[in-house]
Amino acid sequence: MEINKLARLEIENEEKRRREGEVAPAPLEKTKAWKTKFHLSNLNEDPLLTGKIRHIFNEGTNVIGKSDPAGNPEIVIGGAGIFKNHCKINFDGKTAELIPNSTPSIAKVFVNGKLLEEPIALAHNDRILFGVHNYFVFNDPSKPEDSKINWEYANEEVVGDQIKAMTLEQDEILKQKQKELEEKYEADKTKSEAEAKGKLEERLKEIEEKKAILGKEYEEKLQQLNNKGGSKEEIAKLKEEMEKAKSEHNEHVKELKERAEKSANRASNKQREIKEQMEYRLKVQKELEQNLTQVIPKINEVNQMCLQLGKLEYLYKPTITTEIKDSKMKPKICIKIFPDRVHQNVFNLVDFNEFIERYYMIQEKFQNYQYDMEHNEFIKFEENKEEDEKVFGVGIKNDWRFIGQAHIYTDVIANLIDIKEDYTPLIDNKGNVKGHLKYSIILKLLNEGQEEGLLMYGSIEDIENKILRIKLIIHGARGLPPNFIDQLICRYKWIDEKKEDFETPVITIRNTNPEINYEKVHELLVSSYIISHISEASLAIGVYNKMLQDGVVAQKKGIEDYRARSSDETEDREIEEPVTSNDPLVLKRELEL
């Protein structure tokens, strides 16, 4: 579990203020004086830091807010989203009434997960969030503390509705994707089973025809021997050869029927696989909710720190994408970073690890800002594009953008069946179909350096330890959205044990049905691993788009023009009352409270 650096800073600052006599000293943990007083006790993501900050109420009005060189409030709380006169508690010795700021949508206070907009009498064990990360619990000394109340409990109350909304949508997306993939699997399986059955019947027919020919040849040879007066040894030898041919024929027929039975058994296991997939989805859904509980507060904190640092236009939002791991779909938390909160069609998408790196860099910058504010130093916000791109991650990257992913089920390879000019849907991170990929798969057996057909083999099990040559052809894409018409590339990991990455050449496209014309011959050693995995695997091909340089320049220029216009208008524009908004001009006024 990550240690909250701001909480440590708050503890250090609290002790420093006590030493310097800036505020009336609150009892330290070791004195235990708080045990007989009504007070607030902090909750922290790190259990070792929970209960380290305790604020005892004075009778009368207790103002809660950030440190102020002109005079501190009775209860000093620091961090993002905390303002002067953030709220107050009226205490008469027996009851404590929590009163919000006149603008509660800005100076936010949550009680038991709900935004406080009207005064409320606090009850024992009430959970209180000041700003975006300062969690406290209200304690009545006459009643026992509840051990189940911790940071996770209080945090889930605040972000629970947002998490439910996101995970419900994601669960529906996963269900839809699961349904589409299962439908395609069934369609491909039906097709491959029909082709495999046809191949089996054709092979059995060939064997029977060969048996009939051999039988006829045997009768003719036997007749010839009888006409010539052949010896008993010659006749016995001919009969022995015939019996051997019959035995080989019967073994071959038996083997082919066993293969067909194995194929049927694989199909009968599908119901069990669907059940396992359902259990897997429930498991990843629970993991997703737990991870979002950790992520959302940090995103809220970053947004608030950006506003207080004068980065009014920047905005961070959580989003859920999906990734394929071991042929299974798994939700993945990513963060959208918007350089301009008004024009949200342009954003950078980063994973959680990259966001956490930026979180700590922004946090450090904010702590320096807090220090300057506490020491009454003049702060001037200056735009530094290079630093902003490094710290805040707002530089417009001309990166490849994900359009969608196509799945080619490899059970057709397991059954040694070619696919010629078939289509498979391109599914984006939201489960929407963004077009189709046209592809072919041509199979050949490589035997002593020479290609040969596979008609005599029933399934991949028959060519174990041999080399299967697989030609993958990506003919093109069909029905792409018009906004993806720039440059295009396809990427995939090959299905062998190495999982090597491959990509098509970059093509510049001018319509929604681009021709790709990519061919790649892969040689696959049919190992026991391949045999055990290929029937239930899929080849995932991702399709990506990149803006041409003209488009990147146009987007950058549009944002810069807006920022320049916002800066000019800010000097003259007056706003009568603060309103929570995406408009940086409005947010600037809000932060002056």
When pLDDT is cut at 50, 70 and 90, the band that residue 273 belongs to is low
Phi/psi of residue 129, nearest 5 degrees: -115, 120
| pLDDT tens-digit map of 372-384 | 777 765 556 666 7
For residues 30 and 563, what is the distance between their CA atoms, to the nearest angstrom? 52
At 78, the amino acid letter reads G
Q: Give me the pLDDT at residue 245, please.
A: 77
When pLDDT is cut at 50, 70 and 90, the band that residue 553 belongs to is very low
Average pLDDT (267-295) is 73
When pLDDT is cut at 50, 70 and 90, the band that residue 515 belongs to is very high
Q: Give me the pLDDT at residue 280, please.
A: 75
| pLDDT tens-digit map of 322-366 | 766 655 667 788 898 888 888 777 778 888 888 998 999 999 988
For residues 229 and 223, what is the distance between their CA atoms, to the nearest angstrom? 10
Q: Give me the pLDDT at residue 31, please.
A: 53
Which of 105-109, 149-153, 382-386, 422-426 is predicted least confidently?
382-386
- The whole-chain average pLDDT of the chain stands at 78
Whether the predicted pLDDT of 49 surpasses 50: yes
**Portion of the chain with pLDDT greater than 70, in percent:** 73
At 344, the amino acid letter reads Q
Whether the predicted pLDDT of 199 surpasses 90: no
Q: 26-32 — which CB contacts under 8 Å span 24+ positions?
A: 26/54, 26/55, 26/56, 27/54, 27/56, 29/54
Total residue length of the chain = 593
**Portion of the chain with pLDDT greater than 90, in percent:** 27
Nearest to 436 by CA among 329, 516, 331: 516
Q: 459-462 — which CB contacts under 8 Å span 24+ positions?
A: 459/196, 459/259, 459/262, 459/263, 459/414, 459/415, 459/416, 460/413, 460/414, 460/415, 460/416, 460/526, 460/530, 460/531, 460/534, 461/259, 461/262, 461/531, 462/259
Ramachandran bin of 135, using left for φ above 0, alpha for ψ from -120 to 50, beta for the remaining angles: beta
Of 34-48, 176-190, 265-279, 522-536, the range with the highest mean pLDDT is: 34-48
Q: What is the 3-state secondary structure (H, E, C) of 316-339?
A: EEEEEEEEEECCEEEEEEEEEEEC
For residues 359 and 350, what is the distance between their CA atoms, to the nearest angstrom? 12
Average pLDDT (27-34) is 56
Whether the predicted pLDDT of 585 surpasses 50: no
| Crossing angle for the helix pair 151-228 and 232-268, to the nearest 10 degrees | 160
Tell me the CB-side half-sphere exposure of residue 372, using CA atoms within 13 A: 13
Average pLDDT (68-80) is 87
No. of helices (H) and no. of strands (E), the chain: 10, 24
Average pLDDT (37-47) is 92
Q: Give me the pLDDT at residue 430, please.
A: 67
Whether the predicted pLDDT of 584 surpasses 90: no
Q: Give me the pLDDT at residue 270, please.
A: 56
CA 252 vs. chain centroid, Å, equals 49
For residues 578 and 589, what is the distance between their CA atoms, to the nearest angstrom? 6
When pLDDT is cut at 50, 70 and 90, the band that residue 215 belongs to is confident
Q: What is the 3-state secondary structure (H, E, C) of 506-554?
A: CEECCCCCCEEEEEEEEEEECCHHHHHHHHHCEEEEEEEEECCHHHHHH
For residues 56 and 396, what is the distance between their CA atoms, to the nearest angstrom? 48
- What SS3 state is found at 90? strand
Which of 32-41, 171-180, 231-240, 467-476 is predicted least confidently?
171-180
Q: Give me the pLDDT at residue 423, please.
A: 93
Whose tokens are 């020491």? That residue is 375
Q: Give me the pLDDT at residue 461, please.
A: 86
For residues 302 and 307, what is the distance between their CA atoms, to the nearest angstrom? 9
Q: What is the DSSP letter of 125?
A: T
Cα distances (angstroms) measured from residue 387 to each of 300, 317, 553, 561 = 21, 21, 20, 20
Phi/psi of residue 356, nearest 5 degrees: -60, -40
Which of 99-113, 533-547, 579-593 is predicted least confidently?
579-593
Of 65-69, 287-291, 373-377, 487-491, the range with the highest mean pLDDT is: 487-491
Of 44-48, 58-62, 328-332, the range with the highest mean pLDDT is: 58-62
- More reliable by pLDDT, 146 or 242: 146
When pLDDT is cut at 50, 70 and 90, the band that residue 90 belongs to is very high
Q: Give me the pLDDT at residue 240, please.
A: 81
| pLDDT tens-digit map of 296-329 | 989 999 999 998 888 888 999 988 877 666 556 6
Model pTM score: 0.55
Q: What is the DSSP letter of 140?
A: -
